[in-house]
Structure 1
Amino acid sequence: MSPQPPAPVPQASVADRLPLLRRRAMLVRGVRGFFEARGYLEVETPFAVRTPGEEVHLHPFATKCLAPDGTSERLFLHTSPEFAMKRLVAATAQPVFQLARVWRNGEAGPLHAAEFTMLEWYRPGAGLAGLMDETEALLRALLPPMVERDGARCRIDAPFERLTLQEAFARHTGADLLATQEDAPALARQAGVRLRDGEGLRDREGRGETWEDLFFRLLLSHVEPQIGRQRPTFLTHWPAAQAALARRDPDDPRVALRFELYACGLELANAFDELTDPAEQRARFLHDRARRAALPPPVPGWTVGEWPMDEALLAALQQMPPCSGIALGFDRLVMLATGAARINDILWLGGAR
């Protein structure tokens, strides 16, 4: 017999959850007021797109756009508005923000929904330090001075911690992260763990746990549970292999100018000092496509396949000014503000499950 999907967790009625939902509406107004006061322009970008994103481990929803003449075009619900918003920054050189609905197939749980709200903003001329300052100001404007979750009491009114991944791994695993880049056995030895070699970890080429696999295992098991507990933590300067759409640090090419934000055990945001070199970005996209193709499908029979390269984005990068941008999970921010235990508690009609 095929495994049965897990039963959905019963959700309280809209009436019972109305105090949480009213707080959500207040936070939406607060976000708009914060960014409008800082000169940002609120924008809207298409949700159904030809290229949903290039992140290796995200799975999009696919659909078709039917034309009156009977032809059709395959489209996807975007996993982030990032590509479209960068095109707008390139076209206008304006700071922009958006509260966007985004879709990520296969995501469900207390902290995940397949459809959720992403707050993204991009500021030309800002570096990561300035973006961290602005993110701190946003959280202080929207959240109470102290938030609590899962036994952690996190002070929003205290200066946020800024910790490099190199420092975090040294502190919580004992490993020299940058010296062991792409050397999984060395990272495992220094962290005092064994490399896994289970069948479920093997990719289509038969390889077991890679350096990237181990990096994320240690991040999830050793680092993330220890940070952002007493005050929010910016985890900065990611290994170059995890640069995604971020610039490499000109002072240390081993790392990328990227940060993630954690508070009370929740990962809240991911930010880049944006890469504006179209040739390098194309090479990274091609590399990510090859990595994605080597992975086993998320479920048997998964056949979404590839999509066109976003040539409009790559062309726009040539005109985009120096810029930093950030994606913040708005629903998780609402969870912190309200004390809600599950993401479905603060969605108006709940998620798909």
Structure 2
Amino acid sequence: MNKPTDSRHADEDRWWRPDRHADRRPALMARNRMMAAMRVWFAEADFIEADVPALQVSPGNETHLHAFAATMIGNDGGGRPVYLHTSPEFTAKKLLAAGEERLVCFSHVYRNRERGPLHHPEFTMVEWYRAHAPYERLFADCQALLALAAKAAGTTMFSWRGKACDPFAPVERVSVADAFARHAGIDLLATIGRDGEGDRDALAARMQKAGLRHGPDDSWSDMFSRVLVEKVEPALGHGAATVLDAYPACEAALARKSTVDPRISERFELYVCGVELANGFGELTDADEQRRRFVADMAEKQRIYGETYPIDEDFLDALRIMPPASGIALGFDRLAMLATGARRIEDVLWAPVAGG
């Protein structure tokens, strides 16, 4: 007996129907204009565009990122595991080690267990790096690209779910600690030791005092994420884009620690209309420290999800000769969604992945 079909979802999935495509086409054409304009901008700023492979020996080693696995069959018939990358980061940094200084990748990337209004299992990431540049230089890049995207899309305002943001307004910079104090009433830095590690009980006590719930088995990281998602993120990027800067050191897997305060890192995220749009770092180049972080993150991944991913040893070797650099990854589809006023990310994808 055939399984009944939900006609509403079936109609939404049929993006190839002429009427559905006609509705989506203006946003898709705006997407194309945005992509073309960004490529020109990077070229005029002396960036080299690299086309990197999606298949990697490691998809990345962050605790909550989930990859698609595959098997590579050799000429001898034997197989070995490979993964679709969750970011072009490892390969891009190898190219920095090889001598490139301004590098940009427009890459399809793949993340499992992710699907919703703001998430898709395959999406486009624009990732760029500046060797020998402070990470604050990326703030100006973000400002310029927001305005560029708006002009290309033919809009003066970004919007999502009734919220609006002026892409031409100066970007507001706020530290994570100040945002937690302002929007959740929590002194976050008081819950982080001088070694950069979070004090779970200290954060739990402050959440309880602020009237925020937490579970008995929640780690410091779990509680940090809960406050960020429930209280802080929804308040960011309204009126003007927000750079949420100086993330806790223990929440910055590939970023270097601040030289001013070991409790924080050179990591920021860009928010527009409450939507996280980009994630930037002053890049960690200490291979031994990076290995320690990968091992700790994979132990946590095993504890939570019962799986781990291998460490890319070539990547760690490349870090030893990579120059100081700053880098950022921007979700291009989210940018297109905000610039066109689309209600979900699939409305700005030429061909969404079937199912889900």
| Structure 2: distance between partners of 1:251 and 1:102 | 34
Distance apart, 1:52 and its partner CA: 0.6
The SS at the match of 2:27 is helix
1:247-266 counterparts in 2 under 5 A? 247-266=256-275
| Match for residue 159 of structure 2 among 148, 157, 160 | 148
Judge conservation of contact 1:93–1:320 (CA < 8 Å) in 2: no
| Structure 1: distance between partners of 2:265 and 2:10 | 40
1:227-306 counterparts in 2 under 5 A? 227-297=236-306, 305-306=307-308
| Residue 72 (1) aligns with residue 79 (2) | yes
1:186 maps to which residue?
202
Closer, same or farther: CA 77–9 of 1 in aligned 2, 3 Å: farther
Letter in 1 for 2:349: L
The SS at the match of 2:266 is strand
The SS at the match of 2:314 is helix
Greater shift, 186-195 or 273-282, is seen at 186-195
| Structure 2: distance between partners of 1:277 and 1:267 | 27
Distance apart, 1:61 and its partner CA: 0.5
1:131 maps to which residue?
138
| Structure 1: distance between partners of 2:295 and 2:278 | 25
* Cα deviation 1:38-71 (Å, max 9, x = unaligned): 0000001110111110010011101111122211
1:196 maps to which residue?
214
| Match for residue 179 of structure 2 among 156, 168, 174 | 168
Over the matched positions of the two proteins, sequence identity in percent amounts to 45
Distance apart, 1:308 and its partner CA: 3.0
Judge conservation of contact 1:117–1:331 (CA < 8 Å) in 2: yes
1:1-353 counterparts in 2 under 5 A? 10-11=12-13, 12=15, 13-143=20-150, 144-181=155-192, 182-191=198-207, 192-193=210-211, 195-197=213-215, 208-297=217-306, 305-353=307-355
| Structure 2: distance between partners of 1:40 and 1:129 | 18
The SS at the match of 1:251 is coil
| Structure 2: distance between partners of 1:87 and 1:352 | 33
Judge conservation of contact 2:204–2:214 (CA < 8 Å) in 1: no
| Structure 2: distance between partners of 1:185 and 1:194 | 14
| Structure 2: distance between partners of 1:103 and 1:119 | 13
| Structure 2: distance between partners of 1:230 and 1:101 | 30
| Structure 1: distance between partners of 2:172 and 2:200 | 29
Aligned alpha-carbon RMSD (Å): 1.8
How many aligned positions are there?
Answer: 334
The SS at the match of 1:15 is helix
Unaligned 5+ runs, structure 2: 193-197
Distance apart, 1:185 and its partner CA: 3.4
* Cα deviation 1:237-268 (Å, max 9, x = unaligned): 01111121000001101001000000012110
Unaligned 5+ runs, structure 1: 198-206, 298-304
| Structure 1: distance between partners of 2:305 and 2:125 | 28
| Structure 2: distance between partners of 1:69 and 1:5 | 44
Letter in 2 for 1:75: V
| Structure 2: distance between partners of 1:248 and 1:331 | 30
The runs of at least 4 aligned residues of structure 1 exceeding 6 Å deviation read: none
The SS at the match of 1:255 is coil
Distance apart, 1:211 and its partner CA: 1.2
Closer, same or farther: CA 331–5 of 1 in aligned 2, 3 Å: farther
TM-score between both structures, scaled by the size of structure 2:
0.90
| Structure 1: distance between partners of 2:11 and 2:246 | 38
Letter in 2 for 1:196: H
Letter in 1 for 2:156: P
Judge conservation of contact 2:60–2:309 (CA < 8 Å) in 1: no
* Cα deviation 1:58-100 (Å, max 9, x = unaligned): 1110111112221112111111110000000110232110110
Letter in 1 for 2:293: R
Judge conservation of contact 1:14–1:348 (CA < 8 Å) in 2: no
1:302 maps to which residue?
none
Closer, same or farther: CA 150–194 of 1 in aligned 2, 3 Å: closer
Letter in 1 for 2:315: L
The SS at the match of 2:247 is strand
